A and B are shown apart, each in its own frame.
Chain A
Amino acid sequence: MSQSHDHGKEVAHGASHDNGAPADHAHHDMHLGLYWGIGGVLVAFTAITVWLSYVDFDKMFAGHGWNIIIGMIVATFKVCLVGAIFMHLKGEKPLVWKFLYFTLFFVAGLFFLTLLHYVDPIFGTTHAHH
């Protein structure tokens, strides 16, 4: 099966089988290294996430919830890399970005509604649940 397709590959190099954008070897070859590089960065930041979770930031900054905040910052950085490079959001069409802006707005609203259980902006009160 593979041989017949390899034959197809040779044919497909010409324009006759290509109904869409032409194949661009140099362009995609250039990105192969970038994809591996980003994969490596993501693995490295996974290790960093694990390491940071064992550092007591609450003690360091004399506060509460710092490990969660720092963990989420690292996760958001990783997600941005996946989105920008693997999902090609860097240089993506404006319509896709418009979808994303709306989605982020509504998901932020969802989280805000959750927080209303604890902070009431109308009466300016906070609720202790335990």
Chain B
Amino acid sequence: MQIPHEVTARPDTGLYNAKLGIWLFLASEVMLFGGLFSAYIFLRMGAEDGYWPHGLLNVPVGAANTVVLILSSVTVVLAWASLKMRKFSQYKLWMGISILCGALFLIVKLAYEWPQKFEHFGAFIKKDAIAKYEPYLGNAHLKEKKLAPRVEISGHLHEVEIDATAADKEKLDVFLKEHDLTSAPDAHDAKLQLVKGHHLTPGVVEHLEKVPGVKLIAFEVALDPVNADPTNPESDKPHFWYKGATEKIGKIQRQDVESWSAFAPKHSPYFAVYFTITGLHGLHVLAGVLIMLYFWLPIEGGANMFKRNPEHLANRVEVVGLFWHFVDLVWIFVFPIFYLL
């Protein structure tokens, strides 16, 4: 059965079916992301001074990913224009580059940016204990400069101090072996043990705390530059170049901590909304890559359509292109609000 207006435009609307459909779909997408951006505004405006973090994301990596998406937006429109000009090999080239750009964007997000966050440690200090950690927070210096206070100490976990006197020794040993961790008695207090190892991430420590009888006493952290040298004017504002944890170790007592975790959604409203929006955006990138791949592969409904009906394929590519530009458009807002502002 021939469906009318698959290729040619309806005389009354001036649009072919798929174009009408994609614009209605994009309208619903605007509302979807609009809801999430409004959640961002709500959370950010409601955050107390110092509780909305800045400078935790890698700006050069985010900027490079922005350029990758812009490049893919150019190439996908070139792929469509190539089909309109009936230049099939050019279409394959530009569409292929668009697919590679989308895949590269996802690889950077999923294989680099997100895993790095899941290994980073952050502890929000209780309000009544903040003065005790002044050497890591530098709040007197910030107050003098009329800047927001610091309430978090972050970095890479170096060691954790536990009280294992009441612990199930067998289960603890199995846990330490499973996670390639070692434990040794604390030189200052024989009741306590120091646990360390290359795989000591916040996620592992959360599980360690759940071993029966284990009590978490303190964290020893290789501090981020901002906590290692908090009164350095260089640390007053976030920087373009991302600097990882220093070698300076800071000790934080568990009892002084309001909440602690990896830089994961539960860390703070900031990371909750960051992972929600970038996660949903990432799913859109994945969907776009898969659809573009479908139109690129030599299959029925894909690139093989060129021989039978090139204009129909051009329309399909125009529609996926509109979706792809929308994905780019969302990122244009995501990049500054999470990475820069």
Contact = CB atoms under 8 A, between A and B. Distances in A.
B224 interface: no
Interface in B1-46: 7-8, 13-16, 19-20, 23-24, 27, 30-31, 34-35, 37-38, 41-42, 45-46
B309 A114 contact: no
A100 to B, nearest CB: 7
B279 interface: no
A54 interface: yes
Contacts of A39: 70-71, 73-74
A107 B73 CA distance: 24
Interface hub of B20, B30, B303, B315 (most chain A Cβ within 10 A): B30
B341 A5 contact: no
B314 A103 contact: no
B67 interface: yes
Interface in A60-103: 67-68, 71-72, 74-75, 78-79, 82-83, 86-87, 93-96, 99-100, 102-103
Q: Chain B interface mostly helix, strand, loop or mixed?
A: helix
Given A78-B332, A82-B332, A95-B15, A5 B89 contact: yes
Interface in B60-114: 63, 66-67, 70-71, 73-74, 77-78, 81, 84-89, 92
Nearest to B298: A1
A49 B306 contact: no
Contact of B335 (A1, A2, A49, A96): A49
Contacts of B87: 9
Given A24-B84, A28-B81, A82-B329, A110 B38 contact: yes
Nearest to B146: A59
B48 interface: yes
A56 B77 CA distance: 37
B27 to A, nearest CB: 4
A21 B67 CA distance: 33
Given A19-B7, A20-B315, A36-B74, 5 more contacts: A8-B307, A9-B89, A29-B85, A100-B23, A110-B34
Interface of B: 7-8, 13-16, 19-20, 23-24, 27, 30-31, 34-35, 37-38, 41-42, 45-49, 59, 63, 66-67, 70-71, 73-74, 77-78, 81, 84-89, 92, 237, 240, 298, 303, 306-312, 314-315, 321-322, 325-326, 328-329, 332-333, 335-337, 340-341
